[in-house]
Amino acid sequence: MRRRTNALLCLATLAVLLPAPAALAEPTDPPGATTLPGMPERLAPGQECTEHPGRVTAAAPWTRRALGLDQVWRLSKGRGVTVAVVGTGVSETPAVLAGRVRALDSAGEDCVGRGTFQAGLVAGAGTPGHGFSGVAPEAAILAVRGTGERGEPDRDRLASGVRRAAEEGADVITVTAPLDGADPDVRAAMAAAARHDALVVVPAADDGKATSASSGASAGPPAPAPPSGALAVVDTDPRGDRKAGAPAYTRADLTAPGTALVGPGPAGDGKWTASGPSLAAALTAGAAALVRSYHPRLSAAEVRDRILSGAYPGAELPALDPYGAVSGVARPAPVAAPAQEPPVTLPEAAGTTGARSTALLVTAGSAGVIVLVAFLAVVLPRGRARGWRPGRWDAADRPGR
């Protein structure tokens, strides 16, 4: 009888410890997840302009935590600073950019959507029901065309766009492609930026899909060395790494998040996802706007130095830290996101708290049942052996005897 009682208690303990069959299967797409469309870098021949409204999501991008934006916003949000985006143009249609975009010539139209995405990363404002916000949500945007209307690369137009942005009073300038420091037009544009005290933030490598390291495909020649005085940035993923086979570069000053970023598109208020060094440069330009707003007397060169001195030390290159750049005080290193985190599937924030609370309740209840079963496993056999009579305490049971 005693063995049967112990066996039943062991089975009860196993029933508590083992999860129900339905709980063993993790759904591939959890309820409330949002898969975002990818923003193109340029349009293929015959491809129509980007008119899809994107997908609405309340989830905050991973960069918000990685860059410590909620902390640095207590000091600065970029008010009073103008950031020029030299690229495919910037649409003012998204609510996150409404009323804060000034466009030169035809740059108010963005057929591709890449420039609008970049502008959102720089200065997108938070809106109700959306977890997204740019790095400097109170900065203004100056849209300058630096490519063909369909995103075709145009080195002359890119250099001219930098010069025009500086002449139009931009405090910070970011571009959609690397600048060749040996190009006379680029040097002239950088000289104009220096005269007007504008900081130029450039991608150190081209945007584009990473090649497969296992296939042996070549990533092509590295991007040319950036011009002197520019702040050159390369992209990293949520773990702070750059994937093997990513487009190569000659020289860089800084790393910043550039993988699976979230931003607005040229039509509607939905969100898109994209990756690339030009997007890492856009985030860095937003950080420069925070610094220029909080320290208005600093020159462009001093802002560049402050961003580099406030960055996280890295194995090869320092990593962008907006709070360190603004305050001069380094934050603790952020916790890296898990490597298996899906880059474009963003769980809605609304379901997170409930799931966590349920898990805690189940865990606490299970622990309580286990303790109770263990207690009964000891008490029941002894009680049955005594015929359920109360025990007697003899002098022989006293401690020390």
The pLDDT tens digits of the residues spanning 226-279 come to: 999 999 999 999 999 998 889 999 999 999 999 999 999 999 999 999 999 999
Backbone angles phi, psi at 174, to 5 degrees: -125, 150
**53-62, 276-285, 347-356, range with greatest mean pLDDT:** 276-285
Checking if the pLDDT of 216 tops 90, the result is: no
Task: Determine the Cα–Cα distance for residues 328 and 321; give it in Å rounded to an integer.
Answer: 10
pLDDT(383) > 60: no
Q: Which percentage of the chain shows pLDDT scores above 70?
A: 71
pLDDT at 312 over 90: yes
- What's the 3-state SS for the chain? CHHHHHHHHHHHHHHHHCCCHHHHCCCCCCCCEEECCECCCCCCCCCCCCCCCCECCCCCCHHHHHCCHHHHCCCCCCCCCEEEEEECCCCCCCCCCCCCEEECHHHHCCCCCHHHHHHHHHHCCCCCCCCCCCCCCCCEEEEEECCCCCCCCCHHHHHHHHHHHHHCCCCEEEECCCCCCCCHHHHHHHHHHHHCCCEEEEECCCCCCCCCCCCCCCCCCCECCCCCCCEEEEEECCCCCCCCCCCCECCCCEEEECCCEEEECCCCCCEEEECCHHHHHHHHHHHHHHHHHHCCCCCHHHHHHHHHHCCECCCCCCECCHHHHHHCCCCCCCCCCCCCCCCCEEECHHHHHHHHHHHHHHHHHHHHHHHHHHHHHHHHHHHHHCCCCCCCCCHHHCCCC
Distance of CA 258 to the CA centre of its chain: 7
**Residues 329-345 pLDDT 10s:** 866 555 554 444 444 44
pLDDT band, very low/low/confident/very high, at 385 (cuts 50, 70, 90): low
Q: Which of 17-21, 42-46, 309-313, 393-397 has the lowest mean pLDDT?
A: 17-21
* Residue 27, token pair as written in the block: 């759904």
Q: How far apart are CA 155 and CA 172, in angstroms?
A: 20
Amino acid at 13: T
Percent of the chain with pLDDT over 90: 67
What mean pLDDT value characterizes the chain?
Answer: 81
pLDDT at 212 (0 to 100) = 42
Task: Look at residues 39, 134, 17, 32 and name the one whose alpha carbon lies nearest to residue 83.
Answer: 134
**Cβ atoms < 10 Å from Cβ of 336:** 14
Whether the CB-CB separation of 59 and 277 falls below 8 Å is answered with no
Position 303 confidence tier, pLDDT thresholds 50, 70, 90: very high
Instruction: Judge contact between 317 and 306, C-beta under 8 A.
Output: no
d(CA 38, CA 30): 20
CB–CB of 124/134 below 8 Å? yes
Q: Which residue's entry shows tokens 């990593």?
A: 319
- Global pTM value: 0.76
Give the confidence band of 214 by pLDDT, cuts at 50, 70, 90: very low
Write down the pLDDT at residue 343: 44
Q: Given a cut of 80, is residue 370 above it in pLDDT?
A: no
Q: Are 275 and 117 in contact (CB under 8 A)?
A: no
With 90 as the cut, is the pLDDT of residue 4 above it?
A: no
Q: Give me the pLDDT at residue 45, please.
A: 92
Q: What are phi and psi of 231, to 5 degrees?
A: -100, 110
How much is the pLDDT for 99?
96
How far CA 266 is from CA of 60, 96, 166, 327, 355, in Å, comes to: 20, 11, 25, 34, 35
Give residue 219's pLDDT band: very low, low, confident or very high (50, 70, 90): low
Average pLDDT over residues 164-170: 98
The answer to which of 14-18, 69-73, 146-150, 300-304 has the lowest mean pLDDT is: 14-18
Q: How far apart are the first and last CA of the chain?
A: 34
pLDDT at position 33 is: 60
- Residue range 158-172: mean pLDDT, rounded: 98
pLDDT tens track for 114-154:
999 999 999 999 988 888 999 999 999 999 999 999 999 99
**d(C-alpha 37, C-alpha 273), whole Å:** 6
Q: What would the mean pLDDT of 92-112 be, rounded to a whole number?
A: 97
Per-residue confidence (pLDDT) for residue 381, from 0 to 100: 55
Nearest to 51 by CA among 112, 107, 94, 103: 112
Domains of the chain: 2-18+353-389 (no CATH), 54-210+218-347 (3.40.50.200)
